[in-house]
Structure 1
Amino acid sequence: MARTLLVAGTASHVGKSTVVTGLCRRLSRNGISVAPYKAQNMSNNARAVVTPSGEWGEIGVSQYVQARAANVPPTTDMNPILLKPRGDGESQLVVHGEAIGHYDAGTYYDEHWERARKAAIESYERLAEEHDLIIAEGAGSIAEINLHDRDLANVETAEFADASILLLGDIERGGVFASLYGTLELMPDDLRKRVRGCVITKFRGDITLLDSGIEELERRTGVPVVGVLPYDDPGLPEEDSLSLPSDDESAVLGDEDGVPPAEAVTIGVPRLPHIANFTDLEPLARVPGVHVVYVPPRSKLTGIDAVVIPGTKNTVDDLLALRNAGFDDALDGFSGPIIGICGGYQMLGERITNAAIEGTGERNTVRGFGLLPVETKFSHEKQVRQATVAATGTGPIDGVTGAVSGFEIHMGRTTYLSSLDRPLGNRSAATELVLGTYLHGLFENESICTAFLDSTSQTIDDGCPSSLEGTSNSPYTEAADLVRQIDLPWIHSEINSC
């Protein structure tokens, strides 16, 4: 049976996902069979992976990335419970990769909590039978005393996995010593005894300035500080929309390359209220000379070379929000290439029927942007699968041929209202300047990424990166280098003692 390390935090966004990813890569390089695990995650950025029964299911993108870092196939056991927020206090509950329904927090905890806990234990036990070490990621703060009786990702995982705990505190937020001390004081006694060390993340400056604080924290708590990690961004995919601007602000990704905006290829992305799988845009943002600009729905698309409408957890409501803000008029007057992915594809069509199934209103039919002669009909059935298609590039991906890979996670079926090009098979529709597709991960295909950028009015010097892997400075390698300062000799001794 595997040993387990739970990477917990004093709060959300203290670096848990990055540390788990880095440890997975670092320890797998040392010959340890390691697997990531997060009992319960909340994210609308998901990937299609294999379920225990051999079907396709979905997990949070962070566990997918962590599995890749650990050099093991990603499965739904690595994230058995996924909650996908859809607004109005509801989330879609996904168990072992399968969507169960939409519930508010009260209903989830009253009616589905025991099922979720049972699924989490089942998944953990399967992973533990196959690997030497499980690196589990906690959620939020491990010291939420109002949630200790139902904290699946932290308290429950620590107990059923008999886990050692690594506690992270973010110095960028200020008050890191108080956060670590307060968290340790508020943890249940049995969990407090499991803490093997604290890690301070996102530090800038002279590390010796922390010496007296570290010494006093260790004296008061008896818990050693086993690492101080510098402020750095390895470039891993983001897990949730908190990393994006609000829907009335603009933000630019990929502008750190020093290329002036006038010389860059500028990709405009509407900031949808219920945006999902926006990690689809990250391969574009990594290309030198490409700026991905998240624009508010009221944007006039001035200075934009191409538009990508991303996925959404609520296509109908986001479509109505864009139209109310005048984004449909902006699209009508836009002369560059446009790509819609998943929910964005559905918006580009003539209409959506059975709309009340997916939206929060009672409308049965909602008019689309009318840029593609297709119609989408919603049902309760959800499509989840990986796919490889033979591309016959036209429109914004003109010239692309050969195999193109990605994955589908969507509700609704799209039918064609007239004859038109299908450059990615029946998962797509295209005109000269507009492409719609259900294929997430589209720009991870180097040929698609390059062709799309070539379809704009600008030019770039460097091509698109083929993947997160394959280079000495890949995000996985960068994450492993970031966590190399964490002192973990006890992990090896615990594994050897099994």
Structure 2
Amino acid sequence: MAETLLVAGTASHVGKSTVAAGLCRCLADRGVSVAPFKAQNMSNNARATPGGEIGVSQYVQARAAGVPPRTDHNPVLLKPRGDGESQLVVDGEAVGHFAARSYYDDHWADALDAARTAHDRLAAAHDVIVAEGAGSIAEINLHDRDLANVETARFADADVLLVADIERGGVFASLVGTLELLPDDVRERVAGAVITKFRGDRSLLDPGVEEFEERTGVPVLGVLPYDDPGLPEEDSVALPPMGERAVVGADDGVPDGESVTVAVPRLPRISNFTDLEPLAREPGVRVAYVPPVATLDDADAVVLPGSKNTVDDLLALADAGFGDRLRAFDGPVVGLCGGYQMLGEELTNAAVEGTGERDRVDGLGLLPVTTAFSESKTVERVEQDLRGVGPLSGASGTVEGYEIHMGDSTLIGDAARPFEGDGAATDAVLGTYLHDLFVNDAARNAFVRNAFESAGIDLPASLGESRPDPYDRAAALVADHVDLAPLGLPER
């Protein structure tokens, strides 16, 4: 059976996913058979695998490990949809929508069984399992039902690597407090700690490291410098709060007057916003997450992202007057999945998707499309031939991505198809169900080129240049700054 290492955190967004991905690639590079695992994930950033959907981090970590992503890597996924409810996905398949109490009272035991079984299958097929925890491992109100942390440590007989973020402040208090609050049997499993996002003079940190080790007996195995390898974000903690504006991708050396801004409405139930990350990494492209009430005066292009609840997010945009401003906008507009549905003329059987009782909701009216919702859900990997139309004009070739959505859209008027049987496009507006569209060079470069052309700005010379592999960058962070020897992981 495989050895399991649980990468647990003192809080959310401390760098667990990056450390886990880096470990997966480091071990794979050594020739070790390694697989990722997260017993229970809560995220609206999901990916499609042949067996169903899993959280984006485990999809990424599987790629880093060099193994095909599968539902065993994330057997339980909770996708928040608002009003205290989440969609429960077990072994890749949607089970239903449940409030937290209903989940813990009626479904948690089944989720625990699914997680144990999935881990056992992975452990029988690999040498090492790199398991990622969720949030903080020290949530004492949840220790009797903490599937991703406490239960994983126990049923997987895992060593624990504790990760803490120094940028938040109070890193040693977080580490010591976490250790103090762990159940005794889990505390004994902690093999070491890693401090992430460090800037400055390491010698000034060393006295704190020494005292922490003396107090707790837990070695600090590494201090990772502040760096973003470019891996997709897992949850909305990375996004600005509702009502605030935030710009991503500004630190690239391109002056503001020579850059373009892609406005993205910060939907209340935004999902799969990782679709925007490839754009934010392009030199000269600023991705601005804006409140629905914001103007589009400084925008050069607009992307409507996915939504876990298309109807209610559409109503939120309508209440904010966003549709009127979007219809008056004269730059390129792209809608992805739920954003595509919103761009159409109407949405029917809307009560299935929204929380209200209404059957029909008006769309934003920018594409001649209607969408009808049903209880069935599409989850699949997709490979399509791209037709260069609308905001993607000039593009061609094969693109890859995935679809995860409820509802089917029908073209009812004069519009081109960007893909065979999928999407709709006019000269300035395009909608598609294809997530990861901008991961594909042809689609991304065409959209960026058209945004610059629409803004009347010359393209940066670096458009289309190759980028460092994010998996290799994550691996280098771990290999260069973490002492793996005390963890006892195999080397081949």
Query: Structure 1-normalised TM-score?
Result: 0.95
The 1-side partners of 2:462 and 2:196 are apart by 33
Residue 463 and residue 313 in structure 1: after superposition, are their counterparts in 2 closer, same or farther (change >3 A)? farther
Q: CA deviation at 1:357?
A: 0.9
Residue-by-residue CA offset, 1:98-141 (whole Å, 9 max, x unaligned): 11111010000011011101110111111111111000001111
Distance 1:398 1:240 in 2: 32
Secondary structure of 1:201's counterpart equals strand
Give deviations 1:60-86, integer Å, cap 9, x for gaps: 111111111111111111111110111
Q: Distance in 2 between matches of 1:133 and 1:97?
A: 23
Q: Which amino acid letter does the alignment assign opposite residue 34 of structure 1?
A: V
Counterpart contact for 1:249–1:295, Cα < 8 Å: yes
Look up the match of 1:85.
Answer: 80
Moved more, 69-78 or 214-223: 214-223
Q: Which amino acid is the alignment partner of residue 155 of structure 1?
A: V
Matched letter for residue 211 of structure 2: E
Partner of 1:487: 483
CA distance in structure 1 between the aligned counterparts of 2:258 and 2:61, rounded to whole angstroms: 35
Structure 2 residue matching 1:146: 3-state secondary structure: helix
Residues 161 and 194, structure 2, Cα contact 8 Å, conserved in 1: yes
- Paired with 1:25 and 1:269, the residues of 2 have a C-alpha distance of 32
Q: Distance in 2 between matches of 1:426 and 1:311?
A: 20
- Mapping 1:186-265, distance limit 5 Å: 186-265=181-260
- Contact 2:30 2:491 survives alignment (8 Å): no
Note the alpha carbon deviations across 1:225-246, whole angstroms, 9 max, x for none.
Answer: 1111222222211111121112
Q: Would you say the 8 A contact 1:2–1:495 is kept in 2? A: no
Contact 1:386 1:408 in 2 (8 A): yes
2:196 and 2:394 map into 1 onto residues whose CA distance is 46
Indicate which of 416, 422, 435 corresponds to 1:421.
416
Counterparts in 2 of 1:203 and 1:478: CA distance versus 1, 3 Å: same
Would the aligned equivalents of 1:93 and 1:101 in 2 still touch at CA under 8 Å? Answer: yes
Are 1:375 and 2:374 counterparts? no
- Alpha-carbon separation, structure 1, partners of 2:24 and 2:149: 19
CA contact (8 A) 2:17 2:132 kept: yes
- Equivalent residues in 2 for 1:16-27, closer than 5 Å: 16-27=16-27
Does structure 1 retain, via aligned residues, the 8 Å contact 2:261–2:287?
yes
Any conservation in 2 of the 1:67–1:74 contact (CA below 8 Å)? yes
Aligned partner of 1:54 in structure 2 is none
Query: Quick check: 1:176 aligned with 2:171?
Result: yes
Q: Counterpart of 1:421 in 2: which secondary structure?
A: coil
Note the 1:29-428 alignment, pairs <5 A: 29-51=29-51, 57-428=52-423
Deviation by residue 1:439-485 (Cα, 9 ceiling, x = unmatched): 0010111111111122222342246558xxx75x3221221121222
**Structure 2 Cα separation of the partners of residues 48 and 80 of structure 1:** 13
Q: Deviations over 1:303-327 (max 9, x none)?
A: 2111110100011111111111111
Q: Letter of the 2:163 partner, please give it.
A: L
For 2:205, what is the secondary structure of its paired residue? helix
1:213 is displaced (CA, Å) by: 2.1
Determine if contact 1:450/1:463 at 8 Å carries over to the other structure.
no
* Distance 1:459-1:439 versus aligned 2 partners, 3 A rule: farther
Amino acid at match of 2:26: R
Identity level (%)? 65
Query: Greater CA deviation, 454-463 or 248-257?
Result: 454-463
On the 8 A contact 1:271/1:295 being kept in 2, the answer is yes
2: distance between equivalents of 1:408 and 1:214? 46
**Structure 1 counterpart SS, 2:44:** coil
Partners of 1:287 and 1:387 lie apart in 2 by 24
- Cα distance in 2 for residues equivalent to 1:77 and 1:153: 14
Q: Secondary structure at the match of 2:25?
A: helix
The answer (yes or no) to whether the contact 1:81–1:95 under 8 Å persists in 2 is yes
AA matched with 1:2: A
How far, CA to CA, are the matches of 1:354 and 1:92 in structure 2? 19
- CA distance in structure 1 between the aligned counterparts of 2:336 and 2:13, rounded to whole angstroms: 27
Aligned mates of 1:170, 1:416 — CA distance in 2: 48
Unaligned runs of 5+ in 2: none
User: Per the alignment, in what secondary structure is the counterpart of residue 292 of structure 2?
Assistant: coil
> Which one-letter code corresponds to 1:37 in the other structure?
F
In structure 2, the CA distance between the partners of 1:459 and 1:46, relative to structure 1 (3 Å rule), is farther
Tell me the distance in 2 between the aligned counterparts of 1:208 and 1:402: 52
Paired amino acid for 1:391 = L
Check whether the contact 1:22–1:480 (CA below 8 A) recurs between aligned residues: yes
Kept after mapping to 2: 8 A contact 1:287/1:462: no
Q: Check whether the contact 1:265–1:460 (CA below 8 A) recurs between aligned residues.
A: no
Q: Once superposed, what is the RMSD of the aligned Cα atoms?
A: 1.6
Which amino acid letter does the alignment assign opposite residue 488 of structure 1? L
Q: Is the 8 A contact 1:446 1:464 kept in 2?
A: no
SS of the counterpart of 1:287?
Answer: coil
Do the aligned partners of 1:121 and 1:160 also contact (CA within 8 Å) in 2? yes
| Residues 394-442 of structure 1 deviation map (CA, whole Å, 9 limit, x = unaligned) | 1111232332211100000111212431121222111111111000010
In the alignment, the residues of structure 1 paired with residue 262 and residue 169 of structure 2 have an alpha-carbon distance, to the nearest angstrom, of 35
8 Å contact from structure 1 (residues 143, 183) kept in 2: yes
Query: Displacement, 1:40?
Result: 0.4
Structure 2 distance, partners of 1:35, 1:78, is 7
Contact residue 379 and residue 403 of structure 2 kept, 8 A: yes
**Contact 1:284/1:464 (<8 A) preserved:** no
Task: State the alpha-carbon separation in 2 of the partners of residues 211 and 263 from structure 1.
Answer: 43
* In 2: Cα distance, 1:259 partner to 1:490 partner: 44
Corresponding letter in the other structure for 1:49: T
The amino acid across from 1:134 in the alignment is I
Tell me the matched-pair count.
487
Asked if structure 2 preserves the Cα contact closer than 8 Å seen for 1:283 and 1:465, the reply is no
Unmatched 5+ stretches in structure 1: 52-56
Q: Summarize deviations over 1:364-398 as a string: whole Å, max 9, x none.
A: 10000111111001111000001111222211112
Q: Is the 8 A contact 1:394 1:421 kept in 2?
A: yes
Post-superposition CA distance 1:35-65 (Å, at most 9, x none): 11110011011111122xxxxx111111111
CA shift for structure 1 position 260: 2.2
